[in-house]
Amino acid sequence: MRQRSYSGLFVAEGSSDAPLAELIESLFLERGIEVRLSQPDFSLLGKVHKDVRSRVAAGLRLVGAPVDLVVVHRDADNAGHDARLREITGAIGSLDVASALIPVIPVRMTEAWLLLDETTIRLVAGNPTGRMGLTLPKRHEVEALADPKEMLRTCLLAASGETGRRREAVRKRFNQHRRQLLQLLDPSGPVARLDSWKRLREDIDRIAARWEPHR
């Protein structure tokens, strides 16, 4: 019997978060389930408001057909996980869609997931054999950082070892470097011990178990 492929919509906070879609697809594939997440080009609709409801509604309109799964990425920021979860579930509930839902809520920001792999940070910064100290947070500290994005920016600059104009060039490539770190994120690496990552895996396990009889 041919394995069924499930359709999905991925709505992220920003374009540099796009690699999360492929990561989630790979986590489903580990469980023997193929999921294909669409990432619509919102610019095709002109101006789309940034709230979750508007973006999901626009994404579904662009996909043009019902989907099995909606994945919404939203950093916890200062609001916290529970508030973001209510925001996402409320938005989806108001749209009255039958799709399964996976909320992706890094605490406090996605950058926290990227601060635990020193080797990859040095690689992406272009200086894999560098020895300069990066002062990376410990695993139990990273989800309590006030500004993980700024810390990641600082660590990438330090890891590059560059000075002057070259250092400024590294600074300007932050979004590119951040995207590369997401692409290289090891789902079984240090991030696997974070509470926000564990919640994501639990949601994937829950949906995979629901779909298992229909494969």
CB 181 within 8 A of CB 120: yes
Residue 214 pLDDT > 80, yes or no? no
Of 60, 77, 90, 75, the closest CA to residue 146 belongs to 77
* Domain 5-107+194-214: CATH architecture, name and number where available: 3-Layer(aba) Sandwich (3.40)
Q: What is the pLDDT of residue 1?
A: 42
Residue 69 phi/psi, 5-degree rounding, is -145, 140
* Per-residue pLDDT tens digits for 114-153: 999 999 999 999 999 999 999 999 999 999 999 999 999 9
Residue 78 phi/psi, 5-degree rounding, is -80, -15
Which whole-number Å values give the CA distances from 150 to 19, 111, 147, 154, 174, in the listed order?
20, 9, 6, 6, 10
Alpha helix (H) ranges present in the chain?
19-30, 52-63, 81-95, 118-124, 148-160, 164-172, 174-183, 195-211
Q: How confident is the model at residue 2 (pLDDT cuts 50, 70, 90)?
A: low
DSSP H or E segment with residue 5 = strand 5-11
What tokens appear for 143 in the block? 């989800």
CB atoms under 10 Å from CB of 74, counted, come to: 23
Q: What is the pLDDT of residue 4?
A: 77
Residue 96 pLDDT > 80, yes or no? yes
Which whole-number Å values give the CA distances from 192 to 40, 49, 149, 188, in the listed order?
28, 33, 19, 5
CB 30 within 8 A of CB 88: no
What tokens appear for 48 in the block? 């789309």
What tokens appear for 76 in the block? 């916890």
Q: What angle do CA 195, 124, 143 make, to 5 degrees?
A: 20
CB atoms under 10 Å from CB of 9, counted, come to: 24
DSSP state of 136: P
Place of tokens 């990438």: 156
Place of tokens 């489903």: 28
Q: What is the pLDDT of residue 212?
A: 79
What ranges do the domains of the chain cover?
Answer: 5-107+194-214, 110-183
CB atoms under 10 Å from CB of 128, counted, come to: 12
Q: What is the pLDDT of residue 3?
A: 66
Measure the CA–CA gap between 205 and 60, rounded to whole angstroms.
24
Residue 213 pLDDT > 70, yes or no? no
Q: How confident is the model at residue 15 (pLDDT cuts 50, 70, 90)?
A: confident
